[in-house]
Structure 1
Amino acid sequence: MGALADLGLSTSDGPIMLVSAPDSVLAEASRMKPRPAFASSILTAEPTPRILWWPERAQLEPGLLSRLAWMTSVARGEAWLILDPAEPESPAPSELEPLLPAASLALVEQRPIGRGEIALRVRPRGA
C-alpha cells in the first residue's frame, strides 16, 4: 500500500492537498477520483481540510510551519507531516516535534507507514 492508503485517506471523504509528495505518492493519487490537489511547496499550497507534506530540514522554519497551521485552521482540518528516515534531507520526529508549539500546532498522533516512513498528524492548537 501507499502512504495515502496506509493513512486511510481518500478523496471520497473530501479534498486532500499533497505538498512536495514523492513520485510513488503521486502515482497512488493519480488513481483516485477526484484527484488530490498538488503543490510543489508549502508556499504554493492552499488551505485544504487534509494536507500531507513531505518537509525537508531546510523548511523547518517558523514561518512555514505557521503557514501550515493557518491553512489547516482556515480549512478546519488537519495535516500529516511525512518523514522518511531513508532520505537525508528529511527531518527526524525529534527535530520537528519541538517546533510545533511555536507554530500553534499540536501533535495528535505519530505512526509508521509505508516503507519505513513516519507520519505525524497535527492540528491547529486548540482545534
Structure 2
Amino acid sequence: MTTTQELAEGLDDLPYNVFAKACPSRGTLEHVTGRWGGLALGALYEGSLRFNELRRRVDGVSEKMLSQTLHALERDGLVHREAQPTNPPRVDYELTPLGRDVAERLLALIHFVEGSMDEVLAARERYDSARA
C-alpha cells in the first residue's frame, strides 16, 4: 500500500503541483471535480450527447451552469463540441481521449461513493444523533 508521504514525494517530480496556489492544474481539478463537471464527464462517458440530452441526464443543472461547465471542460481539452450547420443548429458534445481517461477515474470514484452510501448514511445518523 502506498503511503501519503510516498504519494507526496512522487508529486515533487512533476512539473505541476495542484497544491500550489498559482498552479494551472488547480483550475482543471476544480472543473473536473466540481459539482457539474464531474457529472457532465460521467454522463458523456456513455457517448456523444446533444446539449439538452446532457441537461436531462445531469438532473438539476441549469442551462447556464451546464453551458459554463462545458465551455470550461472544452477549454481544458476534456470535451469536444461539434456544431452541425443545420437548421435548427445541432450541437453534440463528446469526450476527447484525455476526457475519457479522466472520466474513467472519476467514475471509479463515483461507483465507490455510491457503493459506500450505507456506511455514509449510518455515519451521518451517528453524527446527527450525537449533536441532537
- TM-score, length-scaled by structure 1: 0.29
Higher relative contact order (Cα pairs below 8 Å, separated by 6+ residues): 1
Instruction: Point out the structure with max Rg over C-alpha.
Output: 2
TM-score of the pair, normalised by structure 2:
0.28
More strand by share: 1
